[in-house]
Structure 1
């Protein structure tokens, strides 16, 4: 995994049942796709515009659902992914 993917990988691996149920390779694919989703759906000051944040949350939720990420911790995974997206966007802007 690349450094940008690793942050998202760590976010989706917080759920033990996801690790057991989906396995490492699927979680790596999710992390890779999350980087693409974040890159394609963020722009300057995206984190200050609620409409853009809501769209990104929706896309992240759909991606997790696509891979059958366990619903018991999906919301906490989305929160962690959004936090990582903010850090990721700040690094890209710097």
Structure 2
């Protein structure tokens, strides 16, 4: 192989420097969620657990009192809504 052929092959296989630069839309890390997403997820888990604890505090038979039927499920539902928000929130 002559020098001319080697130079021609080398020129066609090089990548221009502009193609190597990362784009502006590239994520900074490989994680799907950011720090605030994880914080909201932990808050949501805490609210869900609090709702289940509230349901166990009901003194009525089979948990048919206000705490077991009304307040606890509302708190659990709010916790799941926080979880949904944490999942759908875009990473900052």
Give the TM-score taking structure 1 as reference length. 0.29
Greater share of helix residues, 1 or 2?
A: 1
